Amino acid sequence: RVVTSVTELQGMEGDTILLQEIFHYRNVPSRDGRPSGELVATGLRPKFIDKLNEMGIELPAKVFHRTPAPAVDGRPKSTRQVRVPSARELANAERAK
């Protein structure tokens, strides 16, 4: 058995349950031909981070940074660089409003 997704329940919109995938499973080729893979971040910051911070639990923002695709022919599949603000930066921005 394999965990293939970590998803956050965000709420309800009418009768519809709103979900946001935080991590998903990516197959990783293995030399011995056996199935293998890893959970990789989708790049989306979960809403529960603020609640964890209030409880004194801090997670580095990089935990949720999108994980680049494996290199193909020595070149990365994607070279797009995105900076995700930390939970503290987002909280400070909210307080400043």
Is the pLDDT reported for residue 78 higher than 90?
A: no
pTM greater than the 0.85 cutoff: no
Residue 9 has a pLDDT of 93
Residue 29 has a pLDDT of 77
pLDDT tens per residue, range 21-49: 999 998 887 788 777 888 899 999 998 88
The number of domains in the chain is 1
The pLDDT confidence band at residue 86, using thresholds 50, 70 and 90, is: confident
The C-alpha angle with vertex 21 and arms to 16 and 24, in degrees rounded to 5, equals 140
Cα-flanking dihedrals φ and ψ of residue 8, to 5°? -100, 135
CA distance 62 to 12: 28
Is the pLDDT reported for residue 55 higher than 60?
A: yes
Calculate the average pLDDT of the chain.
81
Structural domain for 50, as ranges: 5-96
